[in-house]
């Protein structure tokens, strides 16, 4: 048993009283989201009403989960916090550092050798501080969490933006940066702006080619990549209850692509079946005892417009399979219109690779439905015309689907099974020929499809669909193929049609695994030594950031004015840079190398105001740091969308950037900047973005009166002697301003521990 049943009993015991107090405070029925949030408020706040989208509230999460790429920095920070053991159940999952190249076994063996130093560090630091450790090959964090740790009504934070996957089992699970995780592991409350609520009412029932993935692809098309910012999305209705628990997880997982804080479904018979199917009947029994608290009140769902800030309704019986992309996960195309879109936009029609699996779609149900199509291909004498890869989500799923013959079916079709790891989904893909940067198309069942994300090629047109649609299109090798209506020519020259996919939500024989890959922490970690070699290029002990000097910031140089979409992949790329996630100095060499410079439309080429030359962003910034000159980064809308990686905030802080000034922020990135003691500012008038010039020296005025709700002023001193004064806003509360003044949130944590 890896889950903490006593902790869950304690959470459930508090539910009735907390929810009664919340009803009294709100004076009305409650949504499921509100019930769980109120049940996890810190002491003293549970009986007070909190204004959505306005109030900052302290919560007490039940657990923390971290993947290996972000865990390195999070645990390096925790080592500075002065604590001897984590205060809440916490785990580390080794899934990000395994590169897909040949196949599961050789790729895993290579990763263990290549990353031995990092794995040894994570294993030893977990042992020392009481964290559970999931070894490389055990699986992708979100699938492992869903199978082992997620429970209805719980609250979890995780250092990965797709942590909301656990919402499929009714958990408020939120992606955060490592500094947030550090706080919770140190026993401190965790702060979040009380979210607004979006209700998605699902009616009808899925059938045929349509799957749970199509629900979130449809929602992404409606809300766009920033439509869920500051909101929790709650799914309800008869249609929601008809979806499998893992299908719900898929929907919640990809809620990160609309910027949502998290997404959630209520506890129902499908949830119970999954808990029992994954050897957690004890949790199911406890959940049944408070079942009425693990869903929204009936009055809420009867009149959702009265209780949610926004309501969307989708009839699953009418929902069509979707394909989203390219280059953004919210460009949604119903399958019936996708072929025309491919031709009209001159996207490469030939499909080079189809990839299924990942944390979003690697359940037993997903694999079995895709395998039913692969078996049809074999039976109907069809060979996959595209390359085809399968990424199992966990060793438990992999072992079970191999036992049940599904992996063999894929291999018969020409598929390659990859390691139980993130792989191509996060750019860990040694794709042959990608360096030629040829225009091509791939389709995946992953969650994110930004340019260059999967293979580093900006000309790879990446599309997102369900595993079933991906498999069918890989068989056809053609993006314009519609498996619902079109036929294919087999080896005998006959026209054959693929039948609707079929699968099972849970294995008839139950799940099985020989070695799940879990390491229990040492009972006493006081004698465990955590080694970090002084000359390591992978790991580096941290030094505290300097506190604010107590004055306005003047004479700052403009580092870059980023144009258009600037995600965390643009700010701090993944792929080959993952090897440096534990070494702040080395990874800072990728700072903003993917951002487009407004003044020359080039990437990684900015003006050095010290000598007028143009250089790479990190090199220019290091020159400013050498001369003790602070800088400002200017950005566009939804700056920092995408991954939760706090390196995108730590790198500019480490290299001497003092402020990020943008039209708007993605939630996680804004919080990460605040945690690291940086100024995260927004234009009061977005049009003032146009006033920023390439040679500007910038002053930030008003910091002596830095207070919640008080705007600041940025003075743009132009090279011709003229100047513009720009009003800028911020969302700092009193506690966050203390982070800024102390130099970082971690500095305050350490002070309180001494």
Residues 622-640: tens digit of each pLDDT: 999 999 999 999 999 999 9
Tokens in use for 335? 């399958």
State the DSSP string of 544-585.
PPPPP-SS-EEEEEEEEEB-S---HHHHS--GGGGGGTB-HH
Closest alpha carbon to 695 in 593, 752, 614: 614
Q: DSSP for 617-669, please give it.
A: HHHHHHHHHHTT--EEEEE-TTBT-S---THHHHHHHHHTEEEEEES-B-HHH
Q: How confident is the model at residue 254 (pLDDT cuts 50, 70, 90)?
A: very high
Beta-carbon neighbour count of residue 720 at 10 Å?
8
63-112 pLDDT tens trace? 999 999 999 999 999 998 888 999 999 999 999 999 999 999 999 999 99
Catalytic residues: 95-96, 160, 448, 643, 645
Go through the chain and tell me how many residues it has: 754
Alpha-carbon distance of 319 to 305, in angstroms, equals: 22
Residue from 711, 714, 588, 710 nearest 651 by CA:
588
Helix, strand or coil for residue 102? Answer: coil
For residue 486, give the nearest of 369, 336, 666, 367 by alpha carbon.
336
> What pairing do the DSSP bridges indicate for beta strands 697-701 and 631-635?
unpaired
CA distances from 598 to 83, 606, 634, 689 (A): 45, 10, 10, 11
Q: What is the pLDDT of residue 700?
A: 98
pLDDT score, position 338: 98
The C-alpha atoms of residue 116 and residue 213 are separated, in whole angstroms, by 36
Position 356 confidence tier, pLDDT thresholds 50, 70, 90: very high
Decide if 220 contacts 324 (C-beta within 8 A): yes
Instruction: Write out the two tokens for 602.
Output: 């080039």
Reply yes or no on whether the pLDDT at 46 is more than 70.
no
Counting Cα atoms < 13 Å in the Cβ hemisphere of 698 gives 30
pLDDT at 491 over 80: yes
- Residue 273 DSSP SS3: helix
Q: How confident is the model at residue 262 (pLDDT cuts 50, 70, 90)?
A: very high
- pTM listed for this prediction: 0.88
CA dist 388 and 371 (Å) reads: 12
Report the alpha-carbon distance of residue 203 to residue 317 in Å, rounded: 8
pLDDT for 44 beyond 70? no
Looking at the chain, the whole-number percentage of residues with pLDDT higher than 90 is: 90
Mean pLDDT, rounded, for 246-251: 98
Place of tokens 């263990």: 112
DSSP code of 498?
Answer: P
User: What are the tens digits of pLDDT across the range 111-130?
Assistant: 999 999 999 999 999 999 99
Compute the average pLDDT of residues 720-724: 97
**Model pLDDT, residue 47:** 66
- Residues 6 or more apart whose CB falls under 8 angstroms from that of 197 comprise 31, 33, 34, 52, 231, 232, 233, 234, 307, 308, 309, 310
Residues 6+ apart with CB under 8 A from 571: 591, 592, 594, 595, 640, 648, 651, 652
CA-wise closest residue to 331 among 164, 464, 480: 464
What pLDDT sits at residue 531? 83
For the segment 429-433, the average pLDDT, to the nearest whole number, is 92
Q: Give the E-state strand segments of 136-258 in sequence order.
A: 155-158, 172-175, 190-193, 196-203, 231-236
Over range 528-544, report the average pLDDT. Answer: 92
Q: Would you state the pLDDT for residue 277?
A: 98
**CA gyration radius, the chain:** 25
Mean pLDDT check: name the lowest of 43-57, 89-103, 720-734.
43-57
- Note the pLDDT of residue 190: 92
> Is 697's pLDDT higher than 80?
yes
Sign of CA dihedral 264, 267, 269, 272: positive
Predicted confidence (pLDDT) at residue 699 exceeds the cutoff of 80: yes
pLDDT at 82: 80
Q: Looking at residues 421-448, what average pLDDT do you find? A: 94
Q: What is the mean pLDDT of the chain?
A: 95
Distances (CA, A) of 354 to 46, 529, 563: 48, 44, 31
Does residue 237 surpass a pLDDT of 90?
A: yes
Cα torsion through 589, 579, 651, 740, rounded to 10: -170
Mean per-residue pLDDT for 561-567?
96
Using the 8-state DSSP alphabet, how is residue 290 labeled? T
393 Ramachandran zone, left/alpha/beta (phi>0; psi -120 to 50):
alpha
**Comparing C-alpha atoms, which of 716, 408, 334 is closest to residue 561?**
716
Partners of 162 in beta bridges? none
Instruction: Please say whether the beta carbons of 587 and 651 come within 8 A.
Output: yes
Which residues sit opposite 233 in a β-bridge?
Answer: 198, 263
Give 585-630 as a DSSP string. HHHGGGTTTTSBBTTTS-BS-EE-TTTS-EE-HHHHHHHHHHTT--
- The pLDDT value recorded for residue 644 is 76
1 has a pLDDT exceeding 70: no
What is residue 154's predicted lDDT score, i.e. its pLDDT?
98
Predicted local distance difference test score (pLDDT) of residue 148:
97
Mean per-residue pLDDT, 688-714: 97
Residue 434 has pLDDT above 80, yes or no: yes
Residues 6 or more apart whose CB falls under 8 angstroms from that of 329 comprise 220, 225, 254, 257, 447, 448, 449, 464
Strands 553-561 and 631-635: parallel
Count CB atoms within 10 A of the CB of residue 124. 18
Q: How far apart are CA 530 and CA 727, in angstroms?
A: 47
pLDDT digits (tens, 9 = 90+) for 55-68: 889 999 999 999 99
């Amino acid at each position: 048993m890896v889950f903490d049943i006593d902790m869950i009993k304690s959470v459930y015991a508090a539910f009735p009283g907390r929810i009664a107090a919340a009803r009294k405070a709100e004076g009305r029925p409650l949504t499921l989201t509100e019930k769980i949030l109120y049940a996890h408020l810190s002491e003293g706040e549970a009986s007070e009403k909190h204004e959505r989208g306005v109030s900052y509230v302290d919560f007490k999460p039940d657990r923390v989960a971290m993947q290996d790429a972000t865990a390195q920095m999070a645990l390096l920070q925790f080592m500075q916090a002065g604590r001897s053991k984590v205060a809440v159940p916490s785990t580390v999952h080794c899934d990000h550092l395994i590169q897909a190249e040949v196949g599961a076994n050789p790729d895993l063996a290579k990763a263990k050798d290549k990353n031995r130093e990092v794995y040894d560090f994570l294993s030893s630091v977990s042992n020392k501080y009481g964290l559970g450790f999931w070894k490389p090959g055990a699986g992708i964090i979100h699938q492992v969490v869903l199978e082992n740790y997620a429970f209805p009504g719980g609250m979890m934070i995780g250092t990965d933006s797709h942590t909301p996957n656990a919402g499929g089992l009714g958990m408020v699970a939120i992606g955060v940066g490592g500094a947030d995780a550090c706080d919770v592991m140190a026993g401190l409350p965790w702060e979040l702006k009380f979210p607004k609520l979006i209700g998605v009412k699902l009616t009808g029932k899925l059938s045929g080619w349509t799957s749970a993935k199509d629900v979130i692809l449809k929602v992404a098309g409606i809300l766009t990549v920033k439509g869920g910012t500051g909101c929790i999305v709650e799914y309800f209705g008869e249609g929601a209850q008809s979806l499998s628990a893992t299908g719900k997880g898929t929907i919640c997982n990809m809620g990160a692509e609309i910027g949502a804080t998290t997404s959630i479904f209520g506890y129902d018979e499908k949830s119970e079946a999954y808990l029992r199917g994954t050897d957690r009947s004890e949790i199911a029994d406890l959940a049944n005892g408070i079942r009425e608290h693990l869903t929204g009140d009936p009055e809420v769902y009867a009149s959702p417009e009265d209780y949610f800030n926004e309501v969307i309704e989708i009839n699953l019986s009418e929902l069509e399979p979707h394909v989203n992309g390219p280059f953004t996960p919210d460009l949604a195309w119903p399958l019936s219109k996708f072929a025309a879109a491919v031709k009209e936009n001159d996207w490469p029609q030939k499909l080079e690779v189809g990839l299924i699996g990942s944390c979003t779609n690697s359940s037993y149900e997903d694999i079995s439905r895709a395998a039913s199509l692969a078996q049809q291909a074999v039976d109907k004498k069809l060979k996959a015309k595209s390359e085809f890869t399968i990424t199992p989500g966990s060793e438990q799923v992999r072992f079970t689907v191999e036992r049940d013959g599904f992996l063999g079916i894929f291999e018969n079709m020409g598929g390659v099974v990859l390691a139980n790891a993130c792989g191509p989904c996060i750019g860990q893909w040694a794709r042959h020929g990608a360096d030629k940067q040829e225009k091509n198309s791939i389709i995946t069942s992953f969650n994110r499809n930004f340019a260059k994300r999967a293979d580093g090629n900006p000309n790879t047109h990446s599309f997102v669909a369900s595993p079933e649609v991906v498999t069918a299109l890989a068989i056809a090798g053609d993006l314009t193929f519609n498996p619902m209506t079109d036929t294919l020519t087999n080896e005998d020259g006959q026209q054959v049609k693929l039948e609707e996919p079929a699968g099972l939500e849970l294995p008839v024989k139950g799940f099985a695994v020989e070695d799940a890959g879990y390491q229990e922490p040492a009972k006493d970690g006081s004698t465990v030594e955590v080694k970090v070699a002084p000359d390591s290029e992978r790991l580096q002990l941290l030094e505290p950031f300097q506190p604010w000097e107590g004055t306005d910031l003047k004479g700052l140089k403009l580092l870059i004015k980023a144009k258009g979409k600037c995600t965390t992949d643009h700010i701090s790329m993944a792929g080959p840079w993952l090897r440096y996630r534990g070494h702040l100095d080395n990874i800072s060499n990728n700072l903003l190398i993917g951002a487009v410079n407004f003044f020359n439309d080039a990437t990684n080429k900015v003006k050095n105001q010290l000598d007028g030359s143009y250089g790479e962003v990190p090199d220019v910034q290091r020159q400013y740091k050498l001369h003790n000159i602070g800088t400002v980064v200017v950005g566009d809308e939804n700056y920092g969308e995408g991954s939760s990686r706090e390196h995108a905030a730590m790198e500019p802080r480490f290299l001497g950037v003092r402020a990020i000034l943008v039209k708007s922020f993605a939630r996680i990135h804004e919080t990460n900047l605040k945690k690291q003691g940086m100024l995260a500012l927004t234009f009061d008038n977005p049009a003032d973005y146009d006033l920023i010039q390439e040679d500007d020296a910038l002053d930030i005025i008003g910091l002596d009166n830095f207070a919640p709700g008080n705007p600041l002023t940025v003075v743009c001193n132009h090279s011709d002697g003229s100047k513009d004064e720009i009003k800028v806003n911020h969302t700092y509360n009193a506690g966050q301003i203390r982070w800024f003044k102390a130099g970082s949130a971690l500095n305050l944590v350490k002070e309180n521990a001494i």
